[in-house]
Structure 1
């Protein structure tokens, strides 16, 4: 019986732990308390756009309004950032802050961060809406093309990652990004792509080639296909081919095209690389033919890099395993201590109950013995024979 109770208590503790974990996970997926709504101005160039697409003039100043809505019962703190648009590793236009990852492109003359300012932090009272202001000051000289960037609003709340066209959220903090596009003229600007660099490198334990392609014009480019063909020098046989489709490029930004080698990577030797980039949106196409030599020393460096990378991965996995093991050990220790204390309390209660029963039983036995003794004395008294004096007295009474 006691074993069954212990098992039930253990199951109950584990159940409570799992339920608590489930509630935490469910809580992390609940709706956001903060929402963001851009207030589109009268000079909105595309009225159907849900982001800022504004027609400006040289030297113009303007305030962009952004509604920050707090639907919760607690005040919320948010931070605001102005970011330039870049092209990320996935081949998409990115409005987040990537200044620590990629340097500003040399072709970028006018950036959103150069002409836009806003408050760095704001507090939104509970169940209230406030309006944030982004101040624009255009340069004095006219430009063709576009200035592209985003307003990033970061809340202190936490949420799982979700993404849509103009909104990005991550697990660390709830984040909204509203795109900002500024133009002054309708003069068409064609994108122009350049191959800035083609080098060999080692990534993920594989020897690869890295091509850096730049869009030097202030115009975004849509629906791009990249194709890379690698030949051994002097051969027409394709050694390796890579293709990427459906990519985009932000104005005045660069994209890194990784050309994977075989499992062992590209070996030492001379190679010819044919690169093609084509935009199906504008029907533009660019081609580059390059030659590249990979030396044995580079191969050795790559092999050493692979070994070091593997060691780092093993070390990382070891650390993660140790931390996980320690956490599980602590949880098990806490569970065992809690279980031991409960068992001790339960045994103490049982002991006290038994002690009480023993006292009551002893008292009952004593009471029972006392009653038996009284009855015995009474019976003995009745059976005792009469003395001679009592007999004489009884004879006198009868006469």
Structure 2
């Protein structure tokens, strides 16, 4: 009886071992090779903040400057892309990527008011200043336009392969995101909330 019980336990352990073996996951993490410092223009409202908060007139042009450095000893390429902020399904504000579809009440998209940078090459330990032009809408608006600048290292596309039977490789991508908030006035705005629709959804 004791022998039979030991055999059953052994078979269960063997089954569990082979069940989990094919789904092992290999994670490849890539540390950030860049460091970023925003250089605030005179239109910056508060220089103690770590993001751009700009007070600009309608139609005014501004240049956002970022000091981007290469922390590694190898050359890298980076690019700065603008994005319009949106609220994700968890209720958090996303500044570093665009929504799948813009809200119909959105009048101005901040990413359309800024020009992405060209691809910049940085030698080992080199630092450069990247400029992003910003063109405010001609018509005045109330409230704020919010978004962000995503500073990402561009790497050659590589097809990740793993030995047969060792599962799927996961590659994490890292980037800096600097928030951008612009307005025409510092006056507070009374919120006007309107319920557009109610529906069941799944996260």
TM-score normalised to structure 2 length: 0.72
User: Residue 195 of structure 1 corresponds to which residue in structure 2?
Assistant: 195
Shift of 1:108: 1.1
Separation of aligned partners in 1, 2:116 and 2:39: 15
Shift of 1:96: 2.4
Shift of 1:199: 2.6
Separation of aligned partners in 2, 1:56 and 1:198: 37
Question: Match for 1:124 among 100, 122, 125?
Answer: 122
Shift of 1:146: 0.7
The C-alpha deviation readout for 1:95-138, integer Å capped at 9, x for no partner, is 12233x3x111111122122111224221111110111110111
Separation of aligned partners in 1, 2:95 and 2:186: 24
Structure index of larger Rg: 1
Separation of aligned partners in 2, 1:64 and 1:153: 13
The C-alpha deviation readout for 1:232-254, integer Å capped at 9, x for no partner, is xxxxxxxxxxxxxxxxxxxxxxx
TM-score normalised to structure 1 length: 0.38
Q: Which structure 2 residues correspond to residues 218-257 of structure 1 after superposition, within 5 A?
A: none
User: Residue 97 of structure 1 corresponds to which residue in structure 2?
Assistant: 97
Give yes or no for contact 1:65–1:134 (8 Å, CA) kept in 2: yes
Structure 2 gap segments, 5+ residues each: 1-25, 156-169
Would the alpha carbon gap of residues 125 and 139 (structure 1) be closer, same or farther in structure 2, given more than 3 Å must change?
A: same
User: Residue 73 of structure 1 corresponds to which residue in structure 2?
Assistant: 73
Would the alpha carbon gap of residues 179 and 171 (structure 1) be closer, same or farther in structure 2, given more than 3 Å must change?
A: farther
The C-alpha deviation readout for 1:68-93, integer Å capped at 9, x for no partner, is 10121111111221100000111111
Q: Which structure 2 residues correspond to residues 1-399 of structure 1 after superposition, within 5 A?
A: 28=29, 32-99=32-99, 101=100, 103-156=101-154, 171-200=171-200, 203=202
Would the alpha carbon gap of residues 56 and 171 (structure 1) be closer, same or farther in structure 2, given more than 3 Å must change?
A: farther
The CA RMSD over aligned residues, in Å, is 2.3
Give yes or no for contact 1:156–1:174 (8 Å, CA) kept in 2: no
Structure 1 gap segments, 5+ residues each: 1-23, 158-169, 204-257, 259-399
Shift of 1:171: 4.9
Would the alpha carbon gap of residues 124 and 200 (structure 1) be closer, same or farther in structure 2, given more than 3 Å must change?
A: same
Give yes or no for contact 1:156–1:173 (8 Å, CA) kept in 2: no
Separation of aligned partners in 1, 2:45 and 2:127: 26
The C-alpha deviation readout for 1:5-58, integer Å capped at 9, x for no partner, is xxxxxxxxxxxxxxxxxxx97x947x5321111111122102221100111111
Which of the two has greater helix per residue?
1
**How many equivalent pairs are there?**
164
Would the alpha carbon gap of residues 172 and 156 (structure 1) be closer, same or farther in structure 2, given more than 3 Å must change?
A: farther
* Greater RCO, CA 8 A, separation 6+: 2
Separation of aligned partners in 2, 1:74 and 1:129: 13
SS in 2 for 1:113: helix
